[in-house]
Chains A and B, each alone.
Chain A
Amino acid sequence: MVARISSDAFDDQLELGLRRFAQAVGFDPGQVDRAVESGLHRARSLQGAGAITREEGRPVAYGVIARAFLVHAAARHAMARRQTPASCKSARLTPVTVDQPPCSEVERLRVGLTSLPPLERAVLLLVVLEGLSYSQASSALGIGRVECAQLLAAARSGLALRLEPARARTPASGRPQLRLVT
């Protein structure tokens, strides 16, 4: 027996997913509401006009949020480049930041996510976290299916680079290893 999801439950699940995605890509709490609202509005207006089905509205709604994220990530990147001191630019240096090693695996994951290029982060979250198919994720981001798979591979490799060395340092018990110093 196939469990049917009512339209309200479908909308609730979609909204929950959109909210989770918006938070995961990096919108701050105040922006999440607006991003989710924009995504839902776009999907509903297309559904209302009969242009797409309810299920097709899902990648549309995610696409609105993902594109907003990419635009603002690019703007932030450009702003950061403008604010980099000239001495750093000429010497091809980046300002030094103190990077405290995150303690838990979830924290390391969060840091790993932020270190990924925005498009890779968006693809990873759409597919792995939100469960979109490659076709849906490609459609949401306006890229090809092959590019989607390549970006996903790059994202997973990047994340593994961040997480694996830390896991190797952490013993299986999760407790710090102590050594008798004489």
Chain B
Amino acid sequence: MSDSGKRGQAPDADLCAYLDDECGPGQRRRADSALTQDPTLARKLAVWRRNDSTLRAAFSAHPSQARAPNSTNPPIGPLEISGAGTQKRRMDLAIAAAFLAGALSAGGAFVVVNLIVN
């Protein structure tokens, strides 16, 4: 626990360490004392504890069904840029170009034949 914790005013980071059982025996005693003296701090700890439980329950109950957070933020992008889409688009363009070239050649040949015949 930091110096502020030693003075009896556990900052939020110390409160977190207390909640997560990441502090030593001395720090725990000081935090216990601060929590007894400060109802606001005790209330904050209770709220955090409750939110932790809600969080675990929300994602642990059905891990396979857990879904990404609400759509206020859209899902993040792909891990890497996929080349598959680009390749398919190139293939489509090549087919379209070949078809266009064929059509132009046929049209040109038709015009030439018409000119010769007439």
Contacts and interface: CB of A to CB of B under 8 A. Distances in A.
Contacts of A73: 76
Interface residues of A, number: 51
Given A68-B79, A128-B52, A134 B20 contact: yes
B13 A76 contact: no
Contacts, number: 117
B22 A153 contact: no
A20 B60 contact: yes
A46 interface: no
B59 A149 contact: no
Interface stretch (A1-9, A48-56, A101-109, A170-178): A101-109
Contacts of B70: 102, 107, 110-111, 114
Interface stretch (B28-36, B61-69, B103-111): B61-69
B48 A160 contact: yes
A51 to B, nearest CB: 24
Interface in A109-133: 109-111, 113-115, 124-125, 127-129, 133
A170 to B, nearest CB: 13
B72 interface: yes
Contacts of A133: 22
Given A28-B75, A31-B76, A153 B12 contact: yes
Instruction: Say which size band chain B's interface belongs to.
Output: 35 or more
A167 to B, nearest CB: 9
A35 B60 contact: no
Given A20-B63, A102-B70, A109 B54 contact: yes
A75 to B, nearest CB: 7
A109 B55 contact: yes
Contacts of B83: none
B54 A106 contact: yes
Given A72-B79, A129-B56, A149-B17, A26 B73 contact: yes
B16 interface: yes
Interface string B5-33: 00000011111110010100000000000
Interface of B: 11-17, 20, 22, 44, 47-48, 51-52, 54-60, 63-64, 66-70, 72-73, 75-79
25 contacts: A19-B63, A20-B63, A23-B67, A24-B59, A24-B66, A26-B69, A26-B75, A27-B76, A28-B76, A29-B67, A29-B68, A31-B78, A31-B79, A69-B76, A73-B76, A99-B72, A102-B70, A105-B54, A109-B51, A110-B70, A111-B70, A149-B13, A153-B13, A153-B15, A159-B55
Given A69-B76, A128-B52, 6 more contacts: A24-B68, A27-B76, A129-B55, A156-B52, A160-B44, A163-B51
